[in-house]
Amino acid sequence: MKGAGGPAEKVLRDLGIVRPEDIDLEVVAWHLGAKVKYRPLNTCEARIVGREDRAIITVDNRKLAERQRYSVGHELGHWHHHRGRCLICRSEEIGSFKISALDPERVADGYASDLLMPQYLFKPVARSFRKLNVAALRQIKAAFSVSLTAAAFRIMESDQFAAMLVVHNQQGRRYFFGARSVPGRWFPKDELDQESHAFDMLFGKAAEMAHPRKIGADAWFDRAEAQKFEILEQSFALPGDEVATLLIIEDEDMLEEVQEKRR
C-alpha cells in the first residue's frame, strides 16, 4: 500500500482537498498542466498527448461517468510516471488486474486509485464498516464516485478484512484479487460451483443477493481442507454479463493454519 506521501495524494493535499466530493479531476488535471476533453473514441478508451509541461487528455464520453473519472486518473498517472512515452490505453487495460504490477498500465492504475480514493480520505470511511458486504462497497462507490470493482480493490488493498473478489462470466473465471491476509493457497476455482449463487445469477438469471450467506469453502476452493470450513459469499452483477462475488473469511483457523506452516 502506498503511503500518504505518494505523488497523487500530494497533489490533492496541495490543492487543499479534505472531502471525497471535492476531488474534481478536471481541476486536478489543469493544476498538473493537462486539459481534459470528452468525445467518442473508437480505437481506445482514453489517451494523453503531451509536449514539455502541457498535455491534452481525451476520454471516451460514451463510457459510464465513473469509468471516465478513472480514465482521467489513469492518464494523469501516465503523465506523472511515463512522460515522453507513447501509450494508448485500451478498455481491457485500464483497471485490469491480470497484467503485471510493473506494467505501465498497472502503475497508472495505482496512481488513479490514489487520486480517486486517497488513503487519508479513504481510511476513515473504510474504518466505519464493522462488516464487509456489497452495501459497504456501494457506500464507497457513492462517496468517491468510483466503480464497485475499484471500491473492492481498494478495500482489499487496505487489508482491513480477510476477503477476496472473484469475477466470472459464462466461460469461467476472469480474474480475482484478495487481501494480503488471505493465504495464497486459497486460490479460487476456474469454474463456478452449482451451489454458488453466482452460478444461479449467470446461468439461472437469479437476482442479486441482499446479504452475504454462508457456503462451504469447497464450493470456491479446490483443496481437501476446504471441506472443513465455511465462508460468506455475496454476488452482484457487473456490466458485460459478468458476476462478481465477494468472499469473506471469518474463520480464524482458515487463516492461521497456513501461517503456522510457513514458520
Last-in-domain residue among 88, 119, 150 = 119
Within a domain: residue 250? Answer: yes
Cα 123 to the chain's mean position, in Å? 15
60 plus 111 within the same structural domain: yes
Last-in-domain residue among 67, 99, 119 = 119
Within a domain: residue 153? Answer: no
Within a domain: residue 15? Answer: yes
Last-in-domain residue among 53, 88, 119 = 119
pTM across the whole model: 0.85
Within a domain: residue 137? Answer: no
**85-111 burial, b for 16+ CB within 10 Å, e for fewer?**
eeeebeeebbbeeeeeeeebbbbbbbb
Within a domain: residue 36? Answer: yes
Domain membership of residue 183 as a residue range: 162-262
Domain count, the chain: 2
Within a domain: residue 148? Answer: no
d(CA 185, CA 85): 38
For residue 58, the domain's CATH number is: 3.30.2010
Within a domain: residue 2? Answer: no
User: Over its length of 263 residues, how does the chain's per-residue pLDDT go in tens digits?
Assistant: 344 559 999 999 999 999 999 999 999 999 999 999 999 998 888 989 888 889 999 999 999 999 999 999 999 999 998 776 655 555 554 454 554 455 778 889 999 999 999 999 999 999 999 999 999 999 999 999 999 999 999 999 999 999 999 999 999 999 999 999 999 999 999 999 999 999 999 999 899 989 999 999 999 999 999 999 999 999 999 988 999 999 999 999 999 755 444 44
Within a domain: residue 141? Answer: no
